[in-house]
Structures are given as C-alpha cells and as structure tokens.
Amino acid sequence: MPTDLHAWNALLQHHDTIRDTPMREWFDDANAERRVSAFSVEAAGLYLDYSKNRITPETFDLLMRLAEEAGVPCRREAMFTGEHINATEDRAALHVALRALPDAPFRVDGVSVMPGIHDVLRRMQDFSERVRGGKWTGHTGETITDVVNIGIGGSDLGPRMVCRALAHLADRVGPRMHFVSNVDGTELAETLVRLNPARTLVIVCSKTFTTLETMANACSMRDWFLTHGVPEHHLACHFVAVSTNTEAVRKFGIDPANMFEFWDWIGGRFSLWSSVGLSIALAVGFDAFEDLLRGARAMDDHFRTAPLAQNMPVVMAMLGIWYRNFFNMPTSCMAPYSTSLELFPAFLQQLEMESNGKSVQLDGRHVRAHTSPVVWGTAGTNGQHAYFQMIHQGSQIVPVDFVAPLVPPRELPGHHAKLLANCFAQAEALMRGRSAEELHAAGVTDPARVPHMVFEGNRPSNTLLMEDLTPHVLGALIALYEHRTFVQGVVWNINSFDQWGVELGKILARPIEGELKGDGSDGSDVSDGAHDASTRSLIARARAVLSRQTSVPSN
C-alpha cells in the first residue's frame, strides 16, 4: 500500500510545512540561478526545466526516496527483462523491445522476440517503399494516392498523432493519410467523398480483428469498394491488415501475406512502434519511422540507466505524484506550443487515463490514494484564449506541462518568437502571479477592479523544450511520457497495462444493438429485466425514430 511507505508519510508532514510558501520567493533570492540548474535535466534531445514547481531540495529528496521505496528500480528492470508485469492478463509489457536493436537481449518466456520484431520491420519497409514508389497499385494499375487507417484507441490515436506531428516531412512521394476510428458513420462517410477507390489503400488495424468499431468501418469500406466498381477478387489490392488473427483476416478477404503481425505483449496505447505504425511509415517514409524508433530507444536507455534524481521520466512522474496525492490536484494540463503537436494531449489522455485510471492494487485491494488525474489540454496559444483564465485565477490549481520546439517545423517570419514568448510568459505568470501592490505601482488603483486583476500565482508548471521537431525527438518525447506513466503506476501499486474498465460497456452494447435493430418500434419486446428503466426508455425512443427512417421509401 503506497500510503504505508515511510517516504509517503514524510511527504505528508513536509507538505504541511511548505504548502503555502510562494514560489516567487525562491526566484527572488540570490540562489535562483542555482535552483534552475538543480531542477533541470537533459536527455535524448529534450530539456526539462522543472524549477517552477512547489518543491525544495528536501521535497525532491523525499520524492526520490518514495520512488525507491515503492520499488521503481526493481519494477523497471522487471519490465525490461520481459517479466509478466501485466499480472491480470499474465503478459509481459515489452513495448521497449519494439524500438531496440536486433541484437538486444529482450525475451518473453525465455524466447527472444527480436527476430520476429525485425522481420516485421523489414516487411513494413518493403511494403511502404513499394506503395510510396508506385510499385503497389490498385486494381486498375494506378498508383496509391490515399491511405485510410481504420482502427480505434491505440490503433488510431498514436499513429494519427505522429502523422500530424510529422506532417511537415510528408512529401509528394507519400500518399495522403486519413484516419477513421469512430463507429459514427459520419466520420467514414465524410472521408469517402474525398477518395478515388481505384487509388485508395486501407489498413485495417485490430489485434483480434473483432473490434466492433473497427470491423464495422472495415465492412462499410469493403462495401464502398464493391459498389464503386472494384471486383471482389481485386479487393486484396486495396486492403492490408495489422492483426494477430490470421483466420479472421483471411475470412474478411485480405491475403494473409499482407497481414502485419504484432504481439499480445504490446498494449494498444504502447503499440505505435510496431506494425500499428505502418501508416506512419507510409506517410513520412520508413527512414523517418526508424528515426522515431531511435529517439524512443535513446529515452529507454536514459530511463533504464540514469540515477533516479537525474532521470527525466522519474522526475516528471514524481512531480505528478506530489500534486495528485499531496496537494490533491485532480487534473493536469498538456499545453504544446506547436500546432504540429495539437493531437498530443488527446494521445496522452489515453496513455495516462487508460493506464492509470484504476482503483485496485496489484494485490486486489483498493488503493487508498487518488490515481490518474484527468488529463486535458490543447495547443497554445489557442488555450490562452479559452481555459487559461481558469488555470490562472480559478479555484482549482492545475499543473501544466508546456512543450515547445525552439525551431518550428514550418515558419513565417516573426511568428515563432511570438509563440515562444507566449509559452515562456504563461509559465512565468503562473509562477509569479500579480499582487495588489504591483497593480497599484502600475497605476491600477480602482478598489472595485483590483481584486479581479490580482493573480495569486504559485501555480506549478514544467517547461519541456526540444531544438526542433524531428522524428527522433518526437520518439523520445512519446517514450518519456510512456515511462512517466509507468513510474506513477508503480508508486500507486497498480497495473498500468490492462484496461478492464472498457469491457463492460462493450458487453452491454451488443444486445442493445440487436434490440435497436428489432422490428418493434415501442420496445415492448425488450424484457423488463434486461435493462434498467432509463435504458429501456432510451432504447424505445431510439427504435421509434429508427423505425420511421427505415420505413420511408428511398427515391
């Protein structure tokens, strides 16, 4: 139980002594430069300044002691050596092997996983080069101009985010990328109107090839090809699969030779490094995909070998623990000052909340501490004109991670200096605040206005900088947050690699779908005991509308 650890209780007492200390005091004395030097770290092309946090050297030492007492070094080594740390599913969680060199000693159940990983990588390289080079064609012999990735969750968010982040590297050689995840038909329908079936390739990305949303979209996509003149025996020219279920892939009509394998010891939200990243290789080229892997590998090496106090993922994880569990801050904000990284907050929502949104420990007992915060955010500077008002003056304090490349992926004269100025100014303003005395000195003396213009400050943030947004540094950034998430799960003593919480809704949805498709319009054939009264009412209302739609003759 994390709350039983000595360091946890020492931090509780320590929190009482510094919780009201304004950070600006630490920046207004002669030791401010030393503080910045002490509370910053560099790794794998990333620079982290965490000096604007409500910590002293004593706080930091206690947080590192907590990481040690919670067993972070041992659990880290267990992950890297392929132990079944995903205990509830009796699996390893060895996504780090996906970006390792061919001779790395990664094994699962005593068997090296590296030959299989690099065989799939070679096939991905060959396939992506054939498509990008015009050798893979549609059924008419025309080259592929558009690729649709059909997946959901980790099979969508990771590749979609990376393709957006590296869009500046996409060239005229590569196809246009489209991502479809929602079972809401609007998303697929709006994608299809932009496509030429003769020049479109589809990646169906599903580990089991049974995921409801993915397979519904894949079947609709197949029907679209057939109704637009693609002969059924030529569908193989337009579909490939990323899956582990060969038989289901074959039954769907995809040649198993065009199935790219991945493994059950890869969690979906950690899978973009595998064949799930095929869309990335198609969009920006396999060389860039390999560089993405190299960047992640550099962060893996840092995470595995750096001392805890100089270990970027550990430092960021323990700061998150400090605010979530000792200041009881319920949310955290990701604010990337880069339009290219605009999807990174959404990616982190799945990574952190699906991984650590748990209330039961590894031993089955309830955790006596809060776990994952609510993660949210958007790209700066847009957020400044939306929710930053709340972050600055709201009643709840929200820790913020500011992320920014110093060189923009694309530039117009003068823009990037303005962007960075806003990023740095927001972090400074959150830390310093603005007092009534400072307002008076600036000439604001109206007693009716002053209380509304005071900023209490003392609001924490990290600033994470990279020189430019290359595939290498993006890989390191993603791996940083993967390891940060893992470390927090270790401290909370939970399994960060299962997601049972998403299962019940899926189970209940299947019979409801059948009931919505039933012939009756009043729901009277739905057993009173099958659902609660609210759900029965909703089904009946929906069926009444659906039945009217299906009874209207088409023109």
- Reported as a single tens digit per residue, the pLDDT across 175-226 is 999 999 999 999 999 999 999 999 999 999 999 998 999 999 999 999 999 9
Assigned domain for 375 exists: yes
* Overall residue count recorded for the chain in this entry: 555
Q: Please report, for residues 86, 161, 305, 342, 477, the alpha-carbon distance to residue 383 in angstroms, rounded to integers and kept in the order given.
A: 36, 19, 36, 11, 21
Residues 505, 490 share a domain: no
Rounded-to-integer distance, Cα 361 and Cα 494, Å: 5
- Indicate whether 362 and 251 sit together in one domain: no
Q: Are 302 and 416 contained in the same domain?
A: yes
Neighbouring-strand partners of residue 55: none
Residues 491 and 510 in one domain: no
pLDDT for residue 523:
42
pLDDT of residue 528: 52
Q: How far is CA 21 from CA 17, 18, 55, 237, in A?
A: 8, 5, 10, 65
Which phi and psi (to 5°) does residue 455 adopt? -110, 125
pLDDT for res 529? 65
Q: From CA 241, how far away is CA 206, in angstroms rounded?
A: 8
Sign of CA dihedral 275, 277, 283, 286: negative
Are 111 and 285 spatial neighbours (Cβ–Cβ below 8 Å)?
Answer: no
Q: Are 489 and 86 in contact (CB under 8 A)?
A: no
E-strand spans in 408-471?
Answer: 461-468
Q: Tokens in use for 6? A: 């000595």
Contact 465, 459 (CB under 8 A): no
User: In 231-333, which residue ranges form alpha helices assigned H by DSSP?
Assistant: 246-252, 278-284, 286-305, 312-321
In the listed set 207, 240, 262, which residue is the last one of a domain according to the structure?
262
Residue 281 CA to residue 277 CA, distance in Å, equals: 7
Integer CA distances (angstroms), 496 to 350, 487, 500, 504, in order: 12, 9, 11, 18
Rg (CA), the chain: 26
Helix and strand totals (H; E) in the chain: 22, 13
Residue 46 parent element (H or E): strand 46-49
**Amino acid 98: pLDDT:** 98
Q: Report the mean per-residue pLDDT for the chain.
A: 94
3-class SS string, 94-136:
CHHHHHCCCCCCCEECCEECHHHHHHHHHHHHHHHHHHHCCCC
3-state secondary structure of 539: helix
Note whether residue 144 is domain-resident: yes
Angle between helices 286-305 and 312-321 (to 10 degrees): 70
Place of tokens 């979209």: 217
HEC string of 287-308? HHHHHHHHHHHHHHHHHHHCCH
- CA 30, 391, 342: angle at the middle one, nearest 5? 105
Q: Are residues 12 and 152 in the same domain?
A: no
Which CATH number does the domain housing residue 343 bear? 3.40.50.10490
Judgement on whether residues 518 and 385 belong to the same structural domain of the protein: no
The β-bridge partners of 48 are 41, 464
What is the block-wise mean pLDDT of the chain (555 residues), using blocks of 10 residues?
94 96 91 95 98 98 98 98 96 97 96 97 98 96 98 96 96 92 96 97 94 95 97 95 94 93 94 97 98 98 98 98 98 98 98 97 95 97 96 97 96 94 98 95 94 96 98 98 98 96 88 80 52 93 85 51
Distance CA 347, CA 340 (A): 13
Cite the active site residues: 354, 385, 506
pLDDT value at position 555? 44
* Angle at alpha carbon of residue 403, lines to 399 and 407, rounded to 5°: 160
In a domain, 34, yes or no: yes
Does residue 374 form part of some domain? yes
Q: For residues 345 and 429, state if they share a domain.
A: yes
Cα 372 off chain centre by: 14
Do 417 and 468 lie in a common domain? yes
417 and 336 both lie in a single domain: yes
3-state SS, residue 463:
strand
Residue 362 sits in the same domain as residue 436: yes
pLDDT above 90 coverage of the chain, percent: 91
Split into its structural domains, the chain has a count of 3
Show the domain range for 11: 2-90+293-497
My answer on whether 84 and 145 are in the same domain is no
Structure tokens of 203? 């990646």
268 lies in some domain: no
Residue 278 domain flag: no
Residue 187 lies in a domain: yes
Is 282 part of a structural domain of the chain?
no
What's the pLDDT tens digit per position in 123-164?
999 999 999 999 999 999 999 999 999 999 999 999 999 999
491 and 532 assigned to the same domain: no
Q: Give the predicted TM-score (pTM) of the model.
A: 0.95
Tell me if the bond preceding 463 is cis, omega within 30° of 0.
no
